[in-house]
Copies of this chain bind each other. A is one copy, B any other.
């Protein structure tokens, strides 16, 4: 759900892409993103494309032909970033686990120390599975072998702490339409000082001109040299969405999401349902509930939408028909909404033949 203030900001009159007012908005966005990403040392910037454009910017700027790219693969978006790495001409090596599993510190570190890659990627919060991946051991091992680390924070940013500095992440990207409660269209990124140094020392230009982070940074902060015409309206919206978050307070927001997540988990377990991801490895904003035996998940979802106007998602890939994916995030994440959701979810399940 997008906050009404954000819709209002979206429809304000556009200014030019080199207007000082736009650069002021951009600068405030970057400062707010530092708070949300949990960094005082790194920089933040915004890509004029969706979350996948941020993913491609990470890959296209930090990989080149012949570099080794290690992916901790446990879901759909790990596959996507692997494919992007291959297209850049990198040698992609993967540590594969079933969708929904996570990597223990020791095994992740062993994999990285053995492979000695140039770049490591993991997905902090996997939208396709509901699994949360710890990054500290991954980052430490990567830095030991001289690699940089990319973290996909598409589903975590704004809904739970990312702690980029503390974790040791070098490159992160996200989207606007999940934890930030803004319409889709931009990708907020984070770069550590180590990543910035690497970029500055890179001699060959990335294949992508549109996603060339050095050129974009030059446009938005340094010389304000024209690169592309930024989608001004989307920046207004992101600016307002971040203001809403900072007014609530990031800690308060994250705790609110945690409380709602816990209430949801307690509720579905009380119905006799099981979560797909073990406790301690779950995303706060997106819950994956196992579809009980004999129940058609698509029918339950259609009924829930028709009876209560609540849209939840199904699983896909290996989890197709096996899980419900239930987002509890943004302005909608309140205890009252969770209670209503649980009531209606139960009704829809029972109507489709579920007996707990």
Contacts and interface: CB of A to CB of B under 8 A. Distances in A.
Nearest to A80: B209
A48 interface: yes
A50 B229 contact: yes
A240 to B, nearest CB: 12
B14 A11 contact: no
Does more than half of chain A's interface fall in helix, strand or loop, or is it mixed?
A: loop
Interface string A173-199: 001010000011100000000000000
A39 interface: no
A205 B88 CA distance: 10
A228 interface: yes
Contact of A207 (B51, B55, B80, B208): B208
Interface string A199-215: 00000011111110000
Contact of A49 (B53, B175, B177, B316): B53
A87 B10 CA distance: 35
Nearest to A233: B183
Contact of A87 (B49, B50, B175, B207): B207
A84 interface: yes
A52 interface: yes
A311 interface: yes
A13 interface: yes
A310 interface: no
Interface string A226-252: 111111111001000000000000000
Interface residues of A, number: 48
A87 to B, nearest CB: 5
A31 interface: no
A330 to B, nearest CB: 12
A28 interface: no
A230 B87 contact: no
B51 A229 contact: yes
A51 B48 CA distance: 11
A210 B53 contact: yes
A207 B88 contact: yes
Contact of A17 (B184, B228, B233): B184
Contact of A184 (B8, B52, B232): B232
A322 to B, nearest CB: 18
A275 interface: no
Interface of A: 2, 7-8, 10-11, 13-14, 16-17, 48-53, 55-56, 60, 80, 83-84, 87-89, 175, 177, 183-185, 205-211, 226-234, 237, 311, 316
